[in-house]
Chains A and B, each alone.
Chain A
Amino acid sequence: MSDKVINILFCGTGGQGILTAAEIVSLAAVYDGYHTKKSEVHGMAQRGGSVESHVRYGKIVYSPLIEEGGADFLVSFHKGEHDRMKYYLSKDGVDLFADFEDAEKKVQNKKFINTYMLGALSKYLDINRESWLKALEAGFKGKFVEENRKVFLEAAAKG
């Protein structure tokens, strides 16, 4: 395991399943044996306000917060929030907004957009497939297991 800490920033607005998505990546990283920290703000987020969640994993993680310009991945679910948070992305960080636009077109049931985004993200991360699938099931509390798995694998397979 390298010493590098991976920083993933999720953003969007309340009710988009962002917190669940962040939870699932974190679980997958934990299952893979990484030290993981996930930080977010609850409270007003439920009322349609901005939602952001910071996920960091690696050998040892200190700060629960990603620094500005320090995100390796920006996973956004909302154009306005994407533009607002873009300055968090590091110089050679990966912006997954195109995948979100894809998801909006391809995923029929809006409920599964977050799963699609996880599939897209998984291509870049050094986390085992089994850990991902286990985390998906745990994160969605055993609901829509087959559907989630299907959407995830489809996004993960896309070239």
Chain B
Amino acid sequence: MKKIELLSGDEALARGAYEAGLKFAASYPGTPATEILEYLAKFDEIDAQWSVNEKVAYEVALGASIAGVRSIYSSKHVGINVAGDPLMTSAYTGVGGGFVAVTADDPQLQSSQNEQDNRLIAKFSKLPMLEPSSPAEAYKMAKEAFDLSEKFDTPVIIRLTTRVAHTKENVETGDRTEIENKPFTPNAQKYVMVPGHAYKKHIALEAKLAELQKSAQQSELNTMQINDKSLGIIADGAAYLYAKEVFPDASFLKLGFVYPFPDETIKKFAKEVKELYVIEEQEPFIEEHVRQLGIDVKAKDISYRIGELSPALVKEIVEGKIKTEKPSTARKPVLCPGCSHRSVFYALKKLKAVVAGDIGCYTLGALKPLEALHTTVCMGASVTIMESLSKNLGHDKVVGVIGDSTFVHSGITGLVNAAYNQAKGLLIILDNSNTAMTGSQPNPATGVNAKGKPTKKLILKEICKAAGADIVETMDAFDKNLQNKIKELMSKDALCVLIARFPCRMIDRSRQSPPVFNKDKCIVCGACLQVDCPAIYKNADGKITLDAFLCVGCNVCVSACKVDALHRAQ
């Protein structure tokens, strides 16, 4: 039955995949891709999983395809780096059932550690890529991607950006079509990538790309709109919409099947128009290719490669301007009131520890006034960077800090490495039993799966011991002795793990009474403000205010107060 729904790009893509007979889905959470798997997990017809990381997700999803079912992988852009190894070689093996890999990129770093443009992954891996500019297109392209995948025996990448993934639009949805599984027959030439087989597969891959290019040239996903011929614009993704908004009367070549490039279509369009522009976000991916075809084209200044575009910026690009960076005026994010990460960072700050950090809500511990986290590179890099900082700066000065989801994602291997290479020092696992940063997904240490069902629970303590940690202790993150415990473990001549445990406030909404605040005793020294809690702040009148509506009674501010103005409620 046809129905009009208001869907985000993520949801629409997932809906299209569901209707295309999808049976398997694997992902690891990451903004702005998370909602794809969340949407798919609701269907009984789909076996959907949060995998422990993106490499695992990609392999499990590829395996499902090899087994013969339609399968999907999804992650944020940097997840593709983690999945890079299987992804590159899957271009050689090809697929069984249709296989689609979704990358959701994040220009402007709304919630990411870098701004990489994964259109380049298509060229690098030799995989075809589709790129919707809106949810309605994402829905349509998801279906088309599965057909392409089976027709050409290749994984197909769909690339979204935050503005497509998180924009909602009217989408006309329909019913699911069941697709028969492809039979699995052992075929070493196809699925065993040893040098001899892979060499032949590479030859076949180049030929396949030529066929795919023909398909791109005929595809309805690449549309030519000839209007005013004095201005012609080649554009893709959200950039197309901005350009269309600013220059509604211009001629357009809108690319939806972006790789392999539809060369003939591009050449034809270039001949039709007088002045030709490429309008694209981030890297000069299309621009460089158009130039390679020997076509004279205008495009953006390098300054516009940074951040996302907007209608106003597209106007500037065509005016030949250089981007001026405006400082952000947005409010800084903070840890929630009562977040258990706060007590750990407050202790680390007081101990003046050098902290190798990781990615999650706790990365906020790097910001003022806590400033108690000193490195963040990628997921898992706390344990490994801690190993090297410890060896070079002294293991009594350095602490590694990592969340439970991140530890399972890629911290375990680092811990094995530290033990194997005889590193010493302290790793703190901030165990809130949640993947909080990305909106509360379960992980193996939670003991709940993507469908919300109980499953085997990973015991962090056991795995740390098995990895080779000498001392593994567990403590309530709000324990009064936390700081002393950290100090004690830092001074040990051993590889230690402290699991600081407290449920995430997003999940456990229970609260204790706020502390008692004796205003008369308060000298406004600001010590309590150093814990950086939204529930305690300096008012316009210069006095300290404790907001009982926000406070959940964690009492970290009580431990900060030096003049006894704050007390635990009895």
A and B pair up: yes
Q: Which residues of B contact A30 (CB under 8 A)?
A: 4, 6, 170
- Interchain nearest-CB distance for A88 vs B (Å): 11
Shortest C-beta distance, B559 to chain A (Å), equals 22
A43: B residues at CB distance < 8 A: 31-32, 110-111
Q: How many residues of chain B get a CB closer than 8 Å to chain A's CBs?
A: 36
B330 touches A50 (CB 8 A): yes
Q: Let me know if B144 is at the binding interface, CB within 8 A.
A: no
Distance from A57 Cβ to chain B, minimum over Cβ atoms (Å)? 9
B534 interfacial contact with A, CB 8 Å: yes
Q: In the complex, what residues of B have CB within 8 A of residue A46's CB?
A: 439, 506
Residue of B nearest to A69 (CB): B312
Tell me the chain A residues, 23-59 only, with Cβ under 8 Å from chain B.
23, 26-27, 30, 35-50
Q: Does B244 belong to the interface (CB within 8 Å)? A: yes
Q: Is B148 an interface residue (CB 8 A)?
A: no
Check if B331 sits within 8 Å of A26, measured CB to CB.
no
Instruction: Compute how far the CA of A53 lies from the CA of B205 in the bound complex, rounded to whole angstroms.
Output: 44
B166 A67 Cβ-Cβ under 8 A: no
Q: Are A39 and B334 in contact (CB under 8 A)?
A: no
Q: Can you name the residue of chain B whose Cβ is closest to the Cβ of A5?
A: B245
Q: Are A62 and B331 in contact (CB under 8 A)?
A: no
Specify which chain A residues have a CB less than 8 angstroms from the CB of B244 in the assembled complex: 62-63
Q: Are A37 and B110 in contact (CB under 8 A)?
A: no
CB A83 to nearest CB in B, in angstroms, measures 10
How near does chain A come to B142, taking the closest CB pair, in angstroms? Answer: 19
Does A81 sit within 8 A of B, measured CB to CB? yes
Interchain CB contact under 8 A, B332 and A39: no
- Contacts A63-B245, A64-B238, A65-B310 given: A37-B134 contact, CB under 8 Å? yes
Check: B168 CB closer than 8 A to any chain A CB. yes
**Most chain A CB within a 10 A radius of its CB, from B32, B110, B244, B335:** B110
Task: Decide: A37 near B330, CB < 8 A? Known: A26-B6, A47-B335, A64-B238.
Answer: no
Across-interface contacts of B242 in A (CB, < 8 A): 62-63, 65
Contact across chains for B110 and A44 when beta carbons are under 8 A apart: yes
Contact (A64, B534) CB under 8 Å given A42-B32, A44-B333, A49-B333: no
The minimal Cβ–Cβ distance linking A84 to chain B, given in whole angstroms, is: 5
- Most chain A CB neighbours (cut-off 10 Å) among B310, B333, B361: B333
Contacts of A42 in B (CB 8 A): 31-32, 110-111, 166, 439
Are A50's CB and B331's CB within 8 A? Answer: yes
Residues in A with CB closer than 8 Å to B32 are 42-43
What separation, in Å, do the CA atoms of A81 and B6 have in the docked complex?
27
Among A43, A44, A84, residue most surrounded by chain B Cβ atoms (within 10 Å): A43
In the assembled complex, the CB of B351 is this many whole angstroms from the nearest CB of chain A, namely 25
Partner of B111, one of A26, A35, A44, A67: A44
Q: Are A47 and B361 in contact (CB under 8 A)?
A: yes
| Chain B 284-309: CB-based contact to A (< 8 A → 1; otherwise 0) | 00000000000000000000000000
In the assembled complex, A142 has its CB within 8 A of some CB on chain B: no
Q: How far is the CB of A71 from chain B (nearest CB, A)?
A: 13
Q: Decide: A13 and B331 in contact? CB cutoff 8 A.
A: yes
Over the window 357-375 of chain B, the binary record of Cβ atoms lying under 8 Å from chain A Cβ atoms (1 yes, 0 no) is: 0000100100000000000
Measured between alpha carbons, how far is A135 from B442 in the docked complex, in Å?
A: 30
Bound form: Cα–Cα A69–B241 in Å: 19
Q: Which residue on chain A has the smallest CB distance to residue B136? A: A35
In the bound complex, CA of A23 to CA of B166 (Å)? 12
Q: Kindly supply a per-residue 1/0 record for chain B positions 305-342, scoring 1 wherever the CB is within 8 Å of any chain A CB and 0 otherwise.
A: 00000111000000000000000011111111000000
Distance, CA A23 to CA B178, complexed state (A): 32
Give the CA-CA distance A103 to B336 in the complex, in Å.
25
Q: Quick one: which of B148-202 are within 8 Å of A by CB?
A: 162-163, 166-170
**Cβ of A35: which chain B residues have Cβ within 8 Å of it?**
169-170
Contacts of B311 in A (CB 8 A): 63, 65, 67
Check if B330 sits within 8 Å of A62, measured CB to CB: no
Residue contact A48 to B170, C-beta cutoff 8 Å:
no
Q: Given the complex, which residues of B lie within 8 Å of A80, measured CB to CB?
A: 331
- Asked whether any CB of chain B lies closer than 8 Å to the CB of A102, the reply is no
Instruction: Indicate if A130 sits at the interface (CB-CB under 8 A).
Output: no
CA distance A53 to B379 in the complex (A): 29
Alpha-carbon distance between A41 and B333 when the two chains are bound, in angstroms? 13
Cα A64 to Cα B31 in complex, Å, equals 18
Interfacial chain A residues near B310, Cβ < 8 Å: 63, 65, 67
Q: Which residues of A contact B361 (CB under 8 A)?
A: 47
B49 to chain A, nearest CB (A): 22
Shortest beta-carbon distance, B308 to chain A, in Å? 9
Is A154 an interface residue when CB atoms closer than 8 A count as contact?
A: no
A68 close to B (CB within 8 Å): yes
Asked if A62 and B333 make an inter-chain contact with CB atoms under 8 angstroms apart, the answer reads: no
Q: A30-B170, A39-B163, A62-B245 are known contacts. Are A47 and B333 too (CB-CB below 8 A)?
A: yes
Task: Tell me the complex Cα distance, A80–B331, Å.
Answer: 9
Contacting A at CB under 8 A, from B1-21, are: 4, 6
B168 touches A38 (CB 8 A): yes
* A39 in contact with B166 (CB, 8 Å): yes
Task: Take A43-B31, A48-B336, A62-B244 as given contacts and tell me if A37 and B331 are in contact as well, using a CB distance cutoff of 8 Å.
Answer: no
Taking a contact as CB atoms under 8 Å apart, the answer to whether B163 and A62 are in contact is no
CA–CA, A39 and B364, complex, Å: 25
Query: What's the minimum C-beta distance from B79 to chain A, rounded to whole angstroms?
Result: 15
Given A42-B32, A67-B310: A49 touches B166 (CB 8 Å cut-off): no
B225 to chain A, nearest CB (A): 12
- Provide a sorted-by-A list of 19 A–B residue pairs whose CB atoms are within 8 angstroms: A30-B4, A36-B170, A38-B6, A38-B169, A39-B168, A41-B110, A42-B111, A44-B110, A46-B439, A47-B361, A48-B336, A48-B534, A49-B330, A49-B331, A62-B242, A62-B244, A62-B248, A64-B241, A81-B331
Additional pairs, 19, CB under 8 Å, beyond known A36-B168, A63-B310, A64-B163: A27-B6, A30-B170, A37-B168, A38-B167, A39-B167, A39-B168, A42-B110, A42-B111, A43-B110, A46-B506, A50-B330, A62-B241, A62-B245, A63-B241, A63-B244, A64-B238, A67-B312, A68-B312, A84-B329
| Residues of B that sit less than 8 Å from A by CB | 4, 6, 31-32, 110-111, 134, 162-163, 166-170, 238, 241-242, 244-245, 248, 310-312, 329-336, 361, 364, 439, 506, 534
For the complex of A and B, the 8 pairs showing the least CB-CB separation, nearest first, are A43-B111, A47-B333, A49-B333, A63-B245, A50-B330, A64-B167, A44-B333, A62-B245
